[in-house]
Amino acid sequence: MSDVKIGWQKGVVISSKQTKIILDPVGGRGLGRNTHIFITHAHADHTYGLRTSAKKHATVETIRIYEKLNEEQLRNTVSVRLNKPVKVGDLEVTPLNAGHMLGSTQFLVETPKKTILYTGDINCVDTLTTEAAQVSECDELIMEATYGDPFYVFPSRHRTYARIVEWAATQARKGKSPVFRVYAAGKAQEIVRLFNVYTTLPVVTNRYVSRVNEAHTTFGVKLNYIDISSRKPEVFDGTHVLVTTVRDESISSDRSTRAVATGWALKMHSKDFPSFPLSSHADSKQLMNFAKATRAKRVYLYTGCVDIFAEYLRKKAGLNAKPLPPLAQTELGDF
């Protein structure tokens, strides 16, 4: 019988007799300096652990993006590299590319008894700024199910790129500046790169997007953009594309028109603005194919369409899939 415990306790926990690691914690008591946590990427819903005093393992790209967005320098961090194992007690943790955004990782955990792959958020196709998630065989798979509902099957990325460019060009011809409200990290840079590659329209970004752009440039992702602080008076003349954050209300004008780019667009039908199904997550078919390719004997699912996707995997792929179980505090001790 395996001595390794897997489950959810304000984060994904993998615990052996000697060692306990917490992956993408969202809270928890006692995340002190002796706790080992691993962070998959720099989106806010995954970075609680970076704000703690615990020893934090993440790629240098993830650390830098977080620091840029929050204007602070992290301490007690350990930079990890793709495909380079890290030894933590009797566990060995290998970061693998997740394809979700710059610096995003999965973690392959080798225990004395078995191998466990934790995907975090993954994207299974190449984009203009990332490469598709790496697949690794494992005994057990812990997998996100954000778009696990079989309804979510995204059109080809290049088709969506073409629709975005066509819409923006139409707005520009009308003398209106197209404005995209997206996440500052990841999606924003893909939109910037899209217009760099396929159009001659200059791209203006707000301060948060600009900070993350700087990090991308540091790591070799070429982005041409102008920070809005130096160009605000003329950005609404139809000759610029604006890329800003979801909650930014400062950019509004009767000479602009806004759009969003998200996987949820498949169910969005707003008369006020167009939405494009551009996601940094895998859709249901990609997730299923990924799970099959790992040859996992057991699949644990968390976040999003967990129950629907578990049934989908059981019926369509014959996989032993179920929700990630909760772990009682008494099972693992205080942390």
Q: What is the pLDDT of residue 147?
A: 97
The amino acid at 332: L
| Ranges of CATH 3.40.50.10890 domains, the chain | 157-276
Mean pLDDT along residues 254-262: 86
pLDDT at 212 over 80: yes
- What is the per-residue pLDDT across 67-107, written as a single tens digit (0 to 9) for each? 999 999 998 899 999 999 999 999 999 999 999 999 999 99
Q: What is the pLDDT of residue 112?
A: 87
- Contact between 122 and 282 under an 8 Å Cβ cutoff? The reply is yes
DSSP string, 12-67: EEEE-SS-EEEES----TT--TT-EEE----SGGG-GGGGSSSEEEEEHHHHHHHH
Q: What is the pLDDT of residue 270?
A: 75
**H-only helix segments in 174-328:** 187-198, 207-218, 284-294, 306-317
Separation between Cα atoms, residue 176 and residue 65, nearest integer Å: 31
Pairing of strands 91-97, 203-205: unpaired
Q: What is the pLDDT of residue 247?
A: 77
Residue 235 φ then ψ, to 5°: -75, -15
Q: What is the pLDDT of residue 141?
A: 98
Mean pLDDT along residues 269-279: 87
- For the ranges 20-24, 135-139, 253-257, the lowest mean pLDDT is seen at 253-257
Q: What is the pLDDT of residue 255?
A: 76
Q: Angle CA(282)–CA(284)–CA(287) in degrees, nearest 5? A: 60
Q: What is the pLDDT of residue 53?
A: 83
Q: At what angle do helices 157-173 and 187-198 cross, to 10 degrees?
A: 70
Q: Label residue 331 by pLDDT band (50, 70, 90).
A: very low
CATH numeric code, 5-152+282-332: 3.60.15.10
We find that the CATH architecture of domain 157-276 is 3-Layer(aba) Sandwich (3.40)
Q: What is the pLDDT of residue 333?
A: 40
Mean pLDDT along residues 231-260: 76
- What is the per-residue pLDDT across 150-180, written as a single tens digit (0 to 9) for each? 999 999 999 999 999 999 999 989 888 899 9
Q: Which residue has the higher pLDDT, 127 or 9?
A: 127
pLDDT at 193 over 50: yes
Across the chain, mean pLDDT equals 91
**Long-range pairs for 310-316 at CB < 8 Å and ≥24 separation?**
310/145, 312/148, 312/150, 312/284, 312/288, 313/288, 316/288
Q: What is the pLDDT of residue 235?
A: 67
Q: What is the pLDDT of residue 149?
A: 97
Q: What is the pLDDT of residue 310?
A: 97
Length of the chain: 335
Q: Label residue 272 by pLDDT band (50, 70, 90).
A: confident
Mean pLDDT along residues 143-156: 97
pLDDT at 332 over 50: no
- Rounded to an integer, what is the distance from CA 28 to the centroid of its chain? 22
Q: What is the pLDDT of residue 23?
A: 96
- Contact between 93 and 21 under an 8 Å Cβ cutoff? The reply is yes
pLDDT at 33 over 70: no
Separation between Cα atoms, residue 322 and residue 142, nearest integer Å: 10
| Ranges of CATH 3.60.15.10 domains, the chain | 5-152+282-332
pLDDT at 335 over 60: no
Q: What is the pLDDT of residue 271?
A: 74
- Contact between 141 and 291 under an 8 Å Cβ cutoff? The reply is yes
